[in-house]
Amino acid sequence: MSDGELIFVYGTLRSGGTRDAEAFYPGARFLGPGRVRGALHHLGDYPGIRLDETAGWVVGNLVHVTPEALAGFDEWEGIDASTPTGGPYRRVQAHVTRPDGSLAIAWVYEAAAARVEGHPVIASGDWLAAH
């Protein structure tokens, strides 16, 4: 695979979402479905995830991104060099389970705890199915 990184998208950036990653970001290529442990919160027009190995599953897509596309995702999520772990989201690595049971390590944009506080959890862990 060419230079780049893996990210896990779980909301509007998913294939078929309102901001489909491949359509909005040159250098983003969907690799297939995956899931991570966490809680998916309904924040209105989009979701926010809180990673938690003891929680349920959140479904999404693994995406291969070029460095340029990753910078675009960071900008979209409000992440910059001065606040890599601050702001409404932070980019962290997580284990993503693929349908065949294999694991991949990918970046996930995790919402700050204060951002999801008081917002309902999407029990299915699937943003697209919840709409």
126 assigned to some structural domain: no
pLDDT tens-digit readout, 63-75? 999 999 999 999 8
Query: Where do runs of H (alpha helix) occur along the chain?
Result: 21-24, 67-76, 113-116
130 assigned to some structural domain: no
Against a cut of 0.85, is the pTM above it? yes
57 assigned to some structural domain: yes
Q: Give the total residue count for the chain.
A: 131
Comparing CA positions, the residue from 112, 22, 108, 104 lying closest to residue 69 is 22
What pLDDT score was predicted for residue 78?
85
Domain interval for residue 25: 5-116
Kindly report the CATH number assigned to the domain that includes residue 38.
3.10.490.10
Tally of domains within the chain? 1
129 assigned to some structural domain: no
Distance CA 58, CA 80 (A): 25
pLDDT tens-digit readout, 35-69? 999 999 999 999 999 999 999 999 999 999 999 99
What pLDDT score was predicted for residue 131?
79
94 assigned to some structural domain: yes
> By three-state DSSP, how is residue 63 classified?
strand
End-to-end CA distance of the chain: 34
Mean pLDDT, the chain, rounded, equals 92
